[in-house]
Chain A
Amino acid sequence: MGPESLEARQKAAVEEVLKAYPEKAAKNRAKHLGVGGPEDESQKTCGNVRSNKKTVPGVMSQRGCAYAGSKGVVWGPVKDMVHISHGPVGCGQYSRAGRRNYYIGTTGVDTFVTMNFTSDFQEKDIVFGGDKKLDVCLHEIDELFPLNNGITVQSECPIGLIGDDINATSKMYAKKTGQTVVPVNCEGFRGVSQSLGHHIANDTIRDYVFDGNPEMLGEPVAVTDYDVAIIGDYNIGGDAWSSRILLEEMGLRVVAQWSGDATLKEMAQTTKVKLNLLHCYRSMNYISRHMEKEFGIPWVEYNFFGPSQTIKSLRKIAAFFDEGIQAKCEEVIAKYQPMVDAVTNKYRPLLEGKQVMLFVGGLRPRHVIGAYEDLGMEVIGTGYEFAHDDDYKRTKDEIFRSTVIYDDVNEYELEAFVKKLQPDLVASGIKEKYVFQKMGLPYRQMHSWDYSGPYHGYDGFAIFAADMDLAINSPVWAHTTAPWDKEGEA
C-alpha cells in the first residue's frame, strides 16, 4: 500500500471510474457512488449516495426485476403452495431452484419449492389474452397436486401489458373452490429493481393471507406469551434453522418462518405473535409495519451474522420479554461463547487484516460486515443492488472504517474498484464470480453462500469462518503465474 490513506484512494477511485461515461450517464452515476465512514455526515444515507432510482441503460447492472422480488424472494419459498410463473417460459426456468431456499417436504406431493410451474404463454395467449388459460392452469394444478394448500399467480411482463385480469380470474376460481389463490402483479418492468416486487408481494400477503381467511389444515395453534415469528429469512442453506434453534433455546416459540421453509398456515398465524423478528428489513419491512399498525405487534430488526452482532441481537430480542427469557438468553450466549472463541482463535490468525469488497442485495451488504470484522477482516467497499435510503442509513451504523459505497454498481465499475483498491476477497453474486476468479482473486458468492452455509447464528458463523479461510488461503490462487513467467516479466 502506498502512502495515500485508504479514504484518499477510495475517493480517487470513484473519480477515476466516472471518467469513462458519457456526460449524462456520468452525472447519474456520480450520485450513486461515494465514500462513507462510521462518522458519515450525510443524514439520510451513507457516503451521500442516492438509491432506488432507475438504472442507467446499457451499463450491465446486476439488478433483477419485480418478478424476481416476488416469485424469487418472497413467495417462492412458501413450500406448501404452488407458484405459477404466469407468462412465457423463461422467467420460471432461469429462476428455478436457484436460491437454495431449504425446506422439508415431499416435493411434487405436498411441497413444491424447487419445481417450475408456468403457463408457458404462446403468441395466441398474447393476442387473445391468457385469463382462460390461467383458469385451466388452476384446475389442472388442483387435480394433479391435490395436497397444495394454495396457489399464487406470479405475473411476468406481458400480463400487465396485454390487459389480462388475473385478479378477477383468481377470485372467481377461489370463490368456486374455496382454495386460496393469490394474484400478484409483479411484472418485471414495474419499478427499478427487485425491490418493488418485495413490496407488491408483501401487500398480497396482507390482502390474501391476513384478510383472506384461508382454509387451514390441522389444529389451530394455541397462543403463548413467547410466540415470535422470523420475518425476512429465506432459509438459504438452512439459515432460518440455525437461527430458530437459538431463539428456541432462549425460551421463545417460533410459530412462523417468513418465508424460507414457510407454510401458508405459519404466515396466517403470525398475526397473533407477540413480536416480529425482522432479518431482511428491505424485503419485509412492509408487512412488519402492517402487522404493527393492524395487530399491534412490535417488530425488531436483528442480525445473526457473526458473534458480536448475534449477541447484541439476542439481548435486544430478550429485552422485549421477561427476566426468565433474559436469563436464558445469557445462558445461550454463555453456552456458545467457548465455541466462538475456538472459531476465532482458529481462523482469525489466518484472516487478520485481509480486505474485503462486498456487493449483494437485501440486508447482507451491511449485516455481514460484523462477521468479517469478528474475524479481523476489513470491509473496504460495499453496496446494494436494490436498496433505499433507509438501508444506506442503517449501513452507516455497521461499517467500521472508510468504505466505498456503490449503489447499483455495474460490471465495469466493480471491476474498476477492485483493480484500484486491490482487496483480498470479493464477495458478491454468480454473475460477477468468475470475472474476479479469472484475475486470481479469492471470491465467495454471498447470495447462495456458494453452495455452503448456513451462515446465520453461532453454528453458521463457524461455517462462515471456515469458508472464508477456504477461499482466501486455498493453494489454487498461487498457480496463476507459470514458473517460466517470473512475476513482473509476463
Chain B
Amino acid sequence: MQDIDNIVNGKDLFKKPEYQKVLADKKEFEGSMGAVNPAKVEEISEWTKSWDYREKNLAREAIVVNPAKACQPLGAVMVALGFENTMPYVHGSHGCVAYFRSYFTRHFKEPTPCVSDSMTEDAAVFGGLVNMKDGLKNCAAVYKPEMIAVSTTCMAEVIGDDLYAFSIAAKEEDGGEFLAEDFPITYAHTPSFTGSHITGYDNMMNGIMSQLTEGVEVVKNEKINIIPGFETYIGSIRSVKAIAEKMGADFTMLGDHSDQWDMPAGEYSMFQGGTPIAEAKACKSAKATISLQKYATVKTMKMVTKRWKHAGGTSNPIGLKGTDEFIMKLAELTGNEIPQSLKTERGRLVDAMQDSYPYMHAKKFAIWGDPDFLIGMVSFLLEMGSIPTHVLCHNAPRGWEDEMRALLDTSSRAEECHVWAGKDLWHMRSLLFTEPVDFMIGNSYGKELMRDTDIPLIYIGFPIFDRHHLHRYSISGYDGAINLLTWITNKVLDQLDEDTKGIASTDYFFDLIR
C-alpha cells in the first residue's frame, strides 16, 4: 500500500512485497516459458548470444526484427514543415498521420501539425478524389496555410491516385473560395514500400522545388541554396547557417524546420519559421545548391545539377574534415576568404580533440542510423582514432556500402571495421554478442541492446524518445563536433568511473583527475 509521505509510481510500487507476490502468483496461469521452465529460457537466452545463432540470424531473408528505418511520408512531412506556413497533408488514411505526428512529437517534444484526408474503404474502391477535394478545402479554411504539401500513404499508392489531377480538380470545385487559383499545392508520391523516410524526404523536396519554380522566370543570381536533408538536430541547421553567414554567403536554407520544432513558450501558433514561399519560388535562379545529405537528396540533386545546372553538389558537415570541406566549398562558391572567426573555431575544435583523444583512441564502437549521418559520424570517429567496429545502415541506398567501406579503409585498423548494409537491430544484437564493442552510438532503439549486452549507449541519432533536449544541440560544424566529442568522451569517462568504483577493490583507479 502507498505510504502517504512517500507516494511512489510503478518504478518502486511493484517492488513492494505485496506486488512481488502478485507477480509471482500470476505465473501459475501464464504458460509462457519463463513461468513454466525458467531454465529453458536461460538456455535459449544463452544460445541467442552464440555464433551459431548469429549465422542463422544473419541468414534471415524475410522477417525484419527491430528495424532502424521508417517509411517515406515521414520524411515528406519533415520537408513540408521546413517551409513557411506550410501544412503537410497526407493523402490516405488518418492512422498514418497520427503515427507521424506522434513520432516526431515524441522526439522533439514539440507539436507536429499535419493533416490527412481520412480515406476509408469506399475511397479504396472508388479512389480518394472526394477526400482530396474536401480535405484541401477544409484544411485551407481552418488552418489558413500559405502552401499545402501533399504526400501519400501506401494505401493511396496501391490504388494509384493521381495527386496532380486531384489537386487541380479540388481547386476547380472550390472555385477560389478557399483555394485560390495560384494557391500552391505541391505534391510527391511517397510509397512506403520503396526506400525509407529519407526517400520520402527526397521526393517531397524534389516535388516542392520543381513545382514551386514552374513558370517562374530564372534570373541568375549569386545565391546558394542549402538543403539540410532529414536533419533531426535543430542546432545543426543553426550551425550551418552560422557558417554560411560567416562566409558571407547569400544563401537560402531550403526546408528549414529549425524554428518549427523549437517554439518558445508563451503562445502557440501552428507554424513557426521556415523558408519563405517567395524565396523558395526563386530557388532555381540561384547559382549553386549544396545538399548536406547526399543520400537523402539523390533525386533532388540530380534535378538541380543535371537540369538546373547548379554548381555546389553535396557536402556533409559532420566532423572536422566534413566541416573543413563544407567551408572550402562555400569559399569556392562565394569567392570569399575564410574569415579568422572560423579559423579560430576550427582551432578550438582541434584543441579539444587533442585534449580528449586518449579516451576515444582505439575504443571500439558500434553505430547505426541514416546513411549520411553515418558517413559523418564514422568520419569523426576515425579522426579521433576510434575503431568503428560495426557500422549498420538499415536503409542503405545504392552506393553507400562502397563509400563507407572506402572510408573505413582509411583506418589503420580497417580490417576490424565491418559495414552492415540493409541489416536491422536484431542482427546488431548478434554482432554485439559475438564481436563486442566498448560503446554503442545510436537512437533510443539501442536501449534494449544496452540492457541485453551491457554495452553503454551514447544517444546520438533519431529518434531519441527517452533522453531530453539532445535534438536542440548541433552535431554539424566545428561547434557540433565539440558536442560530439563532449558526449562521447564523457560517456567513456562515466563508464570508467562505473568500472572502477568498487570500494577497496578497484577504486585505486577511480581517479579524481582524468
Residues in chain A within 8 A of chain B (CB atoms): 20-22, 24-25, 54-68, 79-80, 84, 87-96, 98, 102, 104-111, 114-123, 125-126, 133-134, 136-137, 140-141, 143-144, 146-147, 149, 156-158, 160-162, 188-192, 194, 216-218, 221, 237-238, 241-242, 244-245, 248, 254-257, 261, 263-266, 269, 335-336, 339, 342-343, 346, 411-412, 415, 429-440, 452-454, 458-459, 462-463, 465-467, 479-481
Contact A434:B109 (CB < 8 A) given known A88-B154, A119-B63, A189-B124? yes
Residues of A within 8 A of B120 (CB): 54, 189-192
Complex Cα distance A464/B223, Å?
A: 56
- B115 lies within 8 A of A59 (CB): yes
- For the complex, give the distance between the alpha carbons of A104 and B23 in Å: 8
B contacts with A, residue count (CB < 8 A): 111
Q: Is B265 an interface residue (CB 8 A)?
A: yes
Distance A404 CA – B418 CA, assembled complex (angstroms)? 59
Contact A256 B32 (CB under 8 A): no
Which residues of the other chain, B, contact A452 by a CB distance below 8 angstroms?
A: 9-10
Residues on the B chain within 8 Å of A115, using CB: 65-66, 426, 448
Assuming the contacts A121-B193, A265-B29, asked whether A55 and B94 have C-beta atoms less than 8 A apart, the reply is yes
Task: Identify A264's interface contact among B18, B31, B45, CB under 8 A.
Answer: B31
Residues of chain A lying within 8 A (CB to CB) of residue B13: 238, 242, 454, 459, 463
**Is A68 a contact of B41 with CB atoms below 8 Å?**
no
Binary CB contact string for chain B from 86 to 113 against chain A (1 if under 8 A, 0 otherwise): 0001001111111111110110011111
List, in ascending order, chain B residues with CB within 8 A of A255's CB.
29
Q: Looking at B7, B135, B191, which has the most chain A CB atoms within 10 Å of its CB?
A: B7
Name A55's closest neighbour in chain B (CB-CB).
Answer: B118
B158, A158: Cβ atoms closer than 8 Å: yes
| Chain B window 34-48, contacts with chain A (Cβ cutoff 8 Å), 1 for yes, 0 for no | 111100110011001
Measured between beta carbons, the chain B residues less than 8 angstroms from A439 are 267-268
- Cross-chain contact A263 with B142 (CB below 8 angstroms): no
Q: Could you write out 25 A-B pairs with CB less than 8 Å apart?
A: A21-B138, A25-B134, A59-B138, A60-B143, A98-B102, A98-B106, A104-B23, A109-B41, A109-B44, A109-B48, A115-B65, A119-B63, A140-B60, A144-B57, A157-B92, A158-B154, A158-B193, A162-B158, A189-B119, A217-B31, A217-B32, A241-B14, A339-B4, A453-B10, A458-B2
Interface of chain B residues 1 through 55 with chain A (CB within 8 A)? 1-2, 4, 7-10, 13-14, 18-19, 22-23, 25-26, 28-37, 40-41, 44-45, 48, 53
Q: A58-B116, A63-B94, A104-B34 given; name 4 further pairs at CB < 8 Å.
A: A90-B96, A98-B102, A454-B13, A459-B1
> Is there contact, CB below 8 Å, between A93 and B31?
no
Contact A114 B61 (CB under 8 A): no
Given contacts A123-B194, A237-B10, contact A137 B98 (CB under 8 A): no
CB closest residue in chain A, given B134: A57
**B124: A residues at CB distance < 8 A:** 160-161, 189
A84–B266 Cα gap in the complex (Å)?
Answer: 43
The answer on a CB contact under 8 Å between B95 and A437 is: no
Report the minimum CB–CB distance from A270 to chain B (whole Å): 10
Q: Are B94 and A61 in contact, with the CB atoms below 8 A?
A: yes
- Chain A contacts of B95 at CB under 8 A? 63-68, 91, 188, 194
Shortest Cβ gap from A16 to chain B (Å): 13
- B31 lies within 8 A of A80 (CB): yes
Evaluate contact between B4 and A22: CB separation under 8 angstroms. no
Interface pairs A-B: 4 shortest CB-CB: A65-B95, A265-B31, A90-B71, A58-B135
B154 engages A21 (CB within 8 Å): no
- Do residues B139 and A140 form an inter-chain contact, with CB atoms below 8 A? no
A478 to B448, CA, bound (A): 38
A80 to B32, CA, bound (A): 6
Contact present for A94 and B1 (CB under 8 Å): no
Chain B residues with CB under 8 Å of chain A are 1-2, 4, 7-10, 13-14, 18-19, 22-23, 25-26, 28-37, 40-41, 44-45, 48, 53, 56-57, 60-67, 69-74, 89, 92-103, 105-106, 109-121, 123-124, 131-132, 134-139, 141-143, 153-155, 158-159, 177-178, 191-194, 196, 263, 265-268, 270, 426, 429, 445, 448, 452
Contact A146-B44, Cβ < 8 Å, known A54-B118, A89-B64, A438-B111: yes
A90 contacts B74, C-beta separation under 8 Å: yes
Return the contact of A342 from the options B4, B123, B138, B448 (Cβ within 8 A): B4
Name the residue among A58, A109, A261, A336 with the largest chain B CB count within 10 angstroms: A58
Pairwise interchain contact B448-A65, C-beta atoms closer than 8 A = no
> Is A89 in contact with B67, judged by CB distance below 8 angstroms?
yes
Alpha-carbon separation in the docked complex, A221 to B30 (Å): 10
Cα of A21 to Cα of B8 in the assembled complex, Å: 46
Contact A433 B105 (CB under 8 A): yes
Contact assessment for B19 and A245 in the assembled complex, using a CB-CB cutoff below 8 Å: yes
Set of chain A residues within 8 Å of B23, measured between Cβ atoms: 104, 241
User: Which residue of the partner chain B has the closest CB to A437?
Assistant: B265
Q: Which residues of the partner chain B approach A342 to less than 8 Å between Cβ atoms?
A: 4
CB distance from B334 to the nearest CB of A (A): 38
Q: In the assembly, what is the distance between CA of A108 and CA of B266, in Å?
A: 44
Residue of A nearest to B132 (CB): A57
Q: Which of chain B's residues have a CB closer than 8 A to the CB of A109?
A: 33, 41, 44-45, 48
Name A194's closest neighbour in chain B (CB-CB). Answer: B95
Q: Is the CB of B10 within 8 A of A60?
A: no
Q: Which one of B10, B30, B113, B139 contacts A454 once the chains associate, using CB atoms below 8 Å?
A: B10
Query: Is B93 a contact of A58 with CB atoms below 8 Å?
Result: no
**Are the CB atoms of B31 and A415 closer together than 8 Å?**
no
Bound complex: CA A256 to CA B29 (Å): 7
Question: B53, A434: Cβ atoms under 8 Å?
Answer: no
- State whether B141 touches A21 (Cβ < 8 A): yes
CB distance from A217 to the nearest CB of B (A): 5
Once the chains bind, are B105 and A434 in contact (CB under 8 Å)? yes
List of B residues within 8 angstroms of A56 by Cβ = 118, 134, 138
Q: Could you say which residues of chain A place their CB within 8 Å of the CB of B56?
A: 143-144
CB–CB B452/A244 < 8 A: no
Q: Is the CB of B154 within 8 A of A111?
A: no
Are A94 and B4 neighbours in the complex by a CB distance under 8 Å? no
Contact B138 A22 (CB under 8 A): yes
Q: Which residues of A contact B155 (CB under 8 A)?
A: 157-158, 161, 188-189
Q: Which chain A positions have C-beta within 8 A of B64? A: 89, 117-120
Please, how many angstroms separate the alpha-carbon atoms of A309 and B48 in the complex?
47
Contacts of B31 in A (CB 8 A): 80, 149, 216-218, 263-266
Contact partner, A57, options B112, B118, B426, Cβ 8 Å: B118
Asked if residues A89 and B137 are in contact (CB atoms below 8 Å), the reply is: no
- Given A68-B98, A161-B155, A346-B4, does the pair A58, B139 have CB atoms closer than 8 Å? yes
Q: State whether B4 touches A91 (Cβ < 8 A).
A: no
B63→A106 contact, CB < 8 A = no
Cα distance A253–B448 in the bound complex, in angstroms: 34
Task: Point out the residue from A91, A118, A121, A266 that lies within 8 Å of B99, measured CB to CB.
Answer: A91
Which residue from chain A places its CB closest to the CB of B261 in the assembled complex? A434
A188/B138 in contact, CB under 8 A: no
Task: List chain B residues, Cβ under 8 A from A158.
Answer: 154-155, 158, 193
Residues of B within 8 A of A119 (CB): 62-64
A427 vs B32: C-alpha distance when bound (angstroms): 36
* A114 / chain B contacts, CB cutoff of 8 Å: 448
B-chain residues with CB within 8 Å of residue A242 when the two chains form the complex: 13
**Complex contact B62–A136 (CB within 8 A):** yes
A136 to chain B, nearest CB (A): 4
The answer to whether A93 and B267 touch (CB under 8 A), given A59-B115, A114-B448, is: no
Q: Are A440 and B266 in contact (CB under 8 A)?
A: yes
Are B196 and A463 within 8 A (Cβ)? no
Residues of A within 8 A of B143 (CB): 60, 412
Assembled-state Cα–Cα distance A269/B142 (Å): 51
Which residues from chain A contact B61 at a C-beta distance below 8 Å? 136, 140
Residues of B with C-beta under 8 A to A188: 93, 95-96, 155
Contact B105 A157 (CB under 8 A): no
Which among A189, A412, A430 is the interface contact of B102 at CB below 8 angstroms?
A: A430
Known: A58-B134, A105-B32, A189-B121. A94 touches B100 (CB 8 A): yes
Q: B residues within 8 A CB of A221?
A: 28-29
- Establish whether residues A24 and B134, one from each chain, have CB atoms under 8 Å apart when the complex forms: yes
